[in-house]
């Protein structure tokens, strides 16, 4: 993933992060390892968030995100934990962003207007276990 991000930045593409991404990162980063987290301290998480914020542009929170999210979850029939993915899509729509770099391509494929991009597409490499055409 880091190589794909570096490639996008070197090409001059605008690469964004959302506050939601940072909140979810903090959750996983500071959660104990035995609870499927990384087990780092809040101070270490703060340092990493600052590094991430310096690397990416931020798609800021706006009052338009919630109504966009409500429309998405109602029209697409989103349920459970996937409401968080739908919120990222709402942020993208509000900010006019169309491409999403993710390892989680399957969950985002159902959203119209979003081009899901796995890292290997940026790098021009086939997914693991596949050979190039």
Same domain, 37 and 71: no
> Do 17 and 59 form a contact (C-beta atoms < 8 A)?
yes
3-class secondary structure, 130: coil
Number of domains in the chain: 2
Same domain, 43 and 83: no
pLDDT digits (tens, 9 = 90+) for 75-127: 999 999 999 999 999 999 999 999 999 999 999 999 999 999 999 999 986 55
Same domain, 111 and 77: yes
pLDDT digits (tens, 9 = 90+) for 33-75: 999 999 999 999 999 999 999 999 999 999 999 999 999 999 9
Q: Is residue 70 part of a domain?
A: yes
How far apart are alpha carbons 71 and 100 in whole angstroms?
19
Same domain, 94 and 47: no
The pTM of the whole model exceeds 0.75: yes
Residue 41 token pair? 């301290």
Same domain, 112 and 71: yes
Q: Which domain holds residue 40?
A: 19-58
Residue matched to tokens 């101070």: 43
Same domain, 7 and 52: no
3-class secondary structure, 57: strand
């Amino acid at each position: 993933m880091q190589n794909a991000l570096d490639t996008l930045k070197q090409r001059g593409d605008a690469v964004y992060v959302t506050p939601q991404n940072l909140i979810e990162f903090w959750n996983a980063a500071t959660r104990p390892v035995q609870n499927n987290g990384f087990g780092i301290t809040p101070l270490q998480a703060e340092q990493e968030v600052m590094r991430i914020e310096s690397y990416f542009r931020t798609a800021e929170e706006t009052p338009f995100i919630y109504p966009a999210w409500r429309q998405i979850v109602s029209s697409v029939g989103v349920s459970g934990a996937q409401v968080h993915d739908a919120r990222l899509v709402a942020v993208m729509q509000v900010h006019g962003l169309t491409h999403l770099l993710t390892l989680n391509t399957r969950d985002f494929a159902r959203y119209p207007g979003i081009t899901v991009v796995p890292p290997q597409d940026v790098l021009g490499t086939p997914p693991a276990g596949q050979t190039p055409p």
